[in-house]
Amino acid sequence: MIINLKEEERIDDLHRKGYQIIQNKKRFCFGMDAVLLSGFATVKEGEKVLDLGTGTGIIPILLEAKTKGKQFVGLEIQEEVAEMANRSVLLNDLQNKVQIQLGDIKEASKLFGGASFDVVTTNPPYMKHEHGLQNGDNSKAISRHEILCDIEDVIREGAKVLKPRGRFYMVHRPNRLTDIFEQCIKYKLQPSKIRMVHPYKNKSANMVLLEAIRGGKCAVNVESPLIVYEETGVYTKEIYDIYGYE
| 128: pLDDT strictly greater than 80 | no
Number of neighbours of residue 182 by Cβ within 10 angstroms = 13
Does residue 200 fall inside a structural domain?
yes
Does residue 1 fall inside a structural domain?
no
pLDDT in tens, 30-58: 999 999 999 999 999 999 999 999 999 99
**Helix 32-40 with 58-66: angle, nearest 10 deg:** 40
Residue 63: alpha-carbon gap to chain centroid: 10
| 112: pLDDT strictly greater than 60 | yes
Residue 232 domain boundaries: 9-243
**How many domains are contained in the chain?**
1
How, if at all, do strands 226-227 and 229-231 pair? unpaired
SS3 per residue for 67-130: CCCCEEEEEECCHHHHHHHHHHHHHCCCCCCEEEEECCHHHHHHHHCCCCEEEEEECCCCECCC
pLDDT in tens, 136-195: 455 544 444 344 679 999 999 999 999 999 999 999 999 999 999 999 999 999 999 999
pLDDT of residue 148: 61
pLDDT in tens, 214-229: 998 878 999 999 999 9
Q: Which helix (H) or strand (E) holds 164?
A: strand 162-172
Does residue 2 fall inside a structural domain?
no
Does residue 4 fall inside a structural domain?
no
**CA pair distance 35, 25, nearest whole angstrom:** 18
How, if at all, do strands 98-102 and 117-122 pair? unpaired
Does residue 3 fall inside a structural domain?
no
The CATH code of the domain that includes 139 is 3.40.50.150
Structure pTM? Answer: 0.91
